[in-house]
Amino acid sequence: MMWDKLWAHHAKVADRRFETLVDTERATAFSAQAGDMLFDYAKTNIDLDGRALLIALLDQADVAAKRDAMFAGMPINETEGRAVLHTALRNLDGGPVVVDGTDVMPGVIDTLERMEGFATDIREGRFTGQGGQITDVVNIGIGGSDLGPAMAVKALAPYHDGPRCHFVSNVDPADIASVLRACDPTTTLVIVASKTFTTIETMTNARTAQAWMGQVVDDTGAQFAALSTAADKTADFGIAPSRVFGFEDWVGGRYSLWGPIGLSLMMAIGPQAFRAFLRGGQAMDQHFRAADWHENLPALLALVGIWHNQICGYATRAVLPYDNLLSRLPAYLQQLEMESNGKGVSMDGTNLEVPSGPVVWGEPGTNGQHAFYQLIHQGTRVIPCEFLVAARGHERDLHHQHQLLVANCLAQSEALMRGRTLDEARDKVAEKFDGEELERQAQHRVFTGNRPSVTIAYPQLDPFTLGQIIALYEHRVFVEGAVLGINSYDQWGVELGKELATALQPVVEGKQGTDRKDGSTAALVGFLQRNGVS
């Protein structure tokens, strides 16, 4: 019902130039703040009526009750019968969180303190490898066991004062080979990060790392740590319980950076900065739980997403950090958003009536400007853009360069909104051309404009702010999923490919024939075999 009202409203306003709406008042009315983070969505075609309908959608979907159920530890991941409580990992001073009658906070704090002890021992040289102080940490994991820490370690590079951190995720041997080549096995700690401790890529890479280290190190087990929910499997792998950091199944893989999966980050930046990161996440949780929907950043970000995807029909969303430290954020968000909300059925198993979550992609500005922005500005499909920008960088002596970065960010959202008319385009080239050629040349320089974007602005990318940003996006995913009525916390869509890969391995190796495969797959196997795969 509310969807119909929104589509009807959109039909009424679709052709309007939203630039005409944007004045100082709108800039205030269509922006909100959480702490010192600003979310601006004035450069969209959402007006007061549209926003009211979108907020009614939240009420229709009972989002507030669903949110409270999540924070209360209810099993909202219904297909797996699990609570969704990554928020407990950053609930530093927020009181008890009860799951099945038990307060999980003592366990959370105990694991955090164990991580802190281990990270400090590594950073201060009390825990050593066979060759002395640990110089390099290699995190082996994939998906949520890689993208979060890899993104965050890069994002907080200015705060690094610990060992070098490397990330290996791909089963492609080129990945691990290039990382290990740069490390000394006698001073390297390998972290095997896998919630299930069964993921084939991770376990294969872990065994490769074990063999590499075993060539020179007597007790490889002593230089391995594990991050997992599967204590039995980490023991089978030969990792001592003192270096196993466990977490519960109510922490989803793509939501796990806040706990043990963040160990490499903690080693890089230190426990204190890691706690600041947790506090940033916790601050966003508190904001999400308390702020009115009109002021609620995760809810508003989600509603803008719904407006653009389900209402306007824009199938993709570009995430464009004007903050090079966030260069891995788009990849991280691809898993967070697409694995969470890329579902075809709602919680009750019936087909979705509206499209599922959008394709999420992006690159840092200004690099993207010299690559794909052409299409964003003049292509025939509208791509809503999400800009992220800090007021200050970390390079004090290069602040003028940061100002240029900021100017570019603001210029892009302005250009997307304003565009350039044919008259303006003609003026641009009138000195060079005339007659028909002037018309032709001018057409190429027209920008339709009226292309929406939002901007997330913050003072500086420090650990607290990174925590705010990640929690903001997590809750945005939650709200979008809740409105769509889907389960954002399972990922059945990754299963089929995994099963077929396992079945295909003996075929690729030439141990089994291709007779039970389709013609295309059989032909591809044949080509690769003729060229040396088996």
d(CA 487, CA 345) in angstroms, rounded, equals 9
Out of 50, 73, 129, 144, name the contact with ligand F6P by CB under 6 A: 144
Eight-class DSSP state of 345: B
Exactly one of 337, 339, 363, 474 is catalytic; name it: 339
Is 339 catalytic? The answer is: yes
199 counts as binding ligand F6P under rule CB under 6 A: yes
Q: What tokens does 145 get?
A: 């066991």
Is 498 catalytic? The answer is: yes
Eight-class DSSP state of 158: G
Residue in this structure with the two tokens 């790392």, named with its chain if needed: 209
142 counts as binding ligand F6P under rule CB under 6 A: yes
User: Segment near ligand F6P (CB under 6 A), from 87-95, 143-151, 321-329, 442-450?
Assistant: 143-151
**Please, what is the minimum distance in Å from the beta carbon of residue 165 to ligand F6P?**
18
Residue in this structure with the two tokens 């979705």, named with its chain if needed: 352
User: Segment near ligand F6P (CB under 6 A), from 142-150, 287-295, 317-325, 359-367?
Assistant: 142-150
> Could you please report the per-residue DSSP string of 92-104?
TTS---EETTEE-
Complete edge-to-edge strand list for the sheet that includes strand 224-228: 164-168, 136-140, 188-193, 224-228, 244-246
One symbol per residue from 407 to 446: x for binding ligand F6P (CB under 6 A), - otherwise; what is it?
A: ----------------------------------------
234 counts as binding ligand F6P under rule CB under 6 A: no
Residue in this structure with the two tokens 């840092």, named with its chain if needed: 364
188 counts as binding ligand F6P under rule CB under 6 A: no
Beta bridge partners of 361: 318
145 counts as binding ligand F6P under rule CB under 6 A: yes
Binding-site size for ligand F6P (CB under 6 A) equals 14
For residue 478, the Cα-to-chain-centroid distance in whole angstroms is 13
One symbol per residue from 457 to 496: x for binding ligand F6P (CB under 6 A), - otherwise; what is it?
A: ----------------------------------x--x--
For 44, the 3-state DSSP assignment is: coil
194 counts as binding ligand F6P under rule CB under 6 A: yes
Among residues 298, 282, 233, which one has the least CA distance to residue 64?
A: 298
Beta strands, E only, 61-127: 98-99, 102-103
196 counts as binding ligand F6P under rule CB under 6 A: yes
d(CA 409, CA 407) in angstroms, rounded, equals 5
Among residues 358, 329, 318, which one has the least CA distance to residue 342?
A: 358
Is 399 catalytic? The answer is: no
**Please, what is the minimum distance in Å from the beta carbon of residue 400 to ligand F6P?**
41
For residue 32, the Cα-to-chain-centroid distance in whole angstroms is 22
330 counts as binding ligand F6P under rule CB under 6 A: no
User: Segment near ligand F6P (CB under 6 A), from 87-95, 192-200, 376-384, 461-469?
Assistant: 192-200
**Please, what is the minimum distance in Å from the beta carbon of residue 143 to ligand F6P?**
3
Helix (H) or strand (E) holding 506: helix 495-508
User: Segment near ligand F6P (CB under 6 A), from 189-197, 344-352, 375-383, 455-463?
Assistant: 189-197
Among residues 479, 472, 341, 356, which one has the least CA distance to residue 64?
A: 479
- Residues lying near ligand F6P in the complex (CB under 6 A) are found at 142-145, 194-196, 199, 202, 253-254, 339, 491, 494
Residues noted as catalytic: 339, 370, 498
